[in-house]
Copies of this chain bind each other. A is one copy, B any other.
Amino acid sequence: MGVETFTVEPIGWVESPLIDRDQAPKQGDEGSPEAWLVFEERVREGLRDLGAGDDVIVLTWLDRARRDTLSVHPRGDLTRPREGVFSTRSPDRPNPVGLHRVRILAVEGTRMLVRDLEALDGTPIVDVKPVLDKDTER
């Protein structure tokens, strides 16, 4: 019996000086350079209430990840025992969606400058959501 699947159509792409997975920080607040979110013109209306100073959650599709990985050494440290991927933030996982909390520094049309984004250059953007109080208050 076939399992239903769903299609992600990227709404934009990341422009970043990070081009090599081995050199990228593991998390956004570990030295990520500033990066641009470059959105498709067709989603402009959806962006209209986002502005400089907003903290948002960016979802990406980590297109260079392995999808057949179910356990990893956390943070790539071979001295640590393997863990199931769903209790890690490894990019390698069945559906490699990246979750990034970033701050918007500037907006220029459909381009947004952000900080704390560890995604590689060219990474597709899946979605952007506001940070809710519950993300920070409990």
Interface residues of A, Cβ cutoff 8 Å to B: 3-11, 27-29, 40, 43, 45-50, 54, 56-57, 59, 61, 63, 70-71, 83-89, 93-95, 97, 99, 101, 124, 126-130, 132, 134-136, 138
Contacts and interface: CB of A to CB of B under 8 A. Distances in A.
Given A45-B84, A47-B86, A101-B135, 20 more contacts: A5-B10, A11-B94, A11-B95, A43-B70, A43-B86, A46-B71, A46-B84, A46-B86, A48-B84, A49-B83, A49-B86, A49-B87, A59-B59, A59-B95, A86-B129, A88-B129, A88-B130, A97-B97, A135-B136, A136-B138
Nearest to A58: B86
Given A47-B86, A86-B46, A5 B4 contact: no
